[in-house]
Amino acid sequence: MVEVKKILFPVDFTENSKKIFPYVKSFAKTFGARITLINIVKHMEDFAGFELMGAERWALFEKDSKEKALGTLKNIAADDFSEFKDVDYAVIVGDIVDEIIDYAEQKKIDLIIISTHGRKGLEKVMLGSVAEGVVKRASCPVLTINPYKCVFGVCALDR
């Protein structure tokens, strides 16, 4: 029996992921599903490929980023998803795709909703590498939404 009771929504704090909010809300309401917002803070190696700043300062930076991300997710849950009683949120440090996939498996997520385009410039014309990685590796179904083509349920150019 197919059911969607847990929705995972990776958020990168861009306008693009904001455009996906209405979809997440509609899908959660329709299925009566619980929403988890997740943000991945990139690991040191992803920034430089070598050790940066010294481990101590890095640990501080990481801790700071994590706290800020948690605060931002908390605000999004309170402001943008106020009509939902229990919105979970999590911040994880690591590789974006790996962590999303791991989290979804651990928490037995039924559906991941993700923007096809995220933070990076070139991705405006290409499929985002994060969305691509998630779609390719996820065990659960993935709903991809193109933020440049779908806004508030109005998709395609001719509508």
Partner 1 sequence: MVEVKKILFPIDFTESAKKVLPYVKYFAKSFGASVTLIHVVRGPEEFTGFEFGSAWWSNFEKEVMDGARTAMEHFIADELSDFKGVDYMVLMGDMVDEINKFAEQKKIDLIIMGTHGRKGLEKVMFGSVAEGVVKRASCPVLTVNPYKVRS
**Closest separation between CB of residue 142 and partner 1, Å?**
5
Residues that bind partner 1 (CB under 8 A): 1-4, 22-23, 25-27, 29-31, 116, 126-127, 131-132, 135-136, 138-146, 149-150, 152-153, 155-159
Q: Which is nearer to partner 1, 69 or 145 (CB)?
A: 145
Q: Which is nearer to partner 1, 96 or 138 (CB)?
A: 138
**Closest separation between CB of residue 92 and partner 1, Å?**
22
**Closest separation between CB of residue 5 and partner 1, Å?**
12
Distance CA 37, CA 20 (A): 12
Q: Which is nearer to partner 1, 79 or 154 (CB)?
A: 154
- How would DSSP label each residue in 35-67? EEEEEEEPPHHHHHSS--S-HHHHHHHHHHHHH
Q: Which is nearer to partner 1, 29 or 63 (CB)?
A: 29
Handedness of CA 90, 116, 85, 36 (dihedral sign): negative
Distance CA 69, CA 92 (A): 10
Give 21's Cβ-side CA count (13 Å radius).
Answer: 17
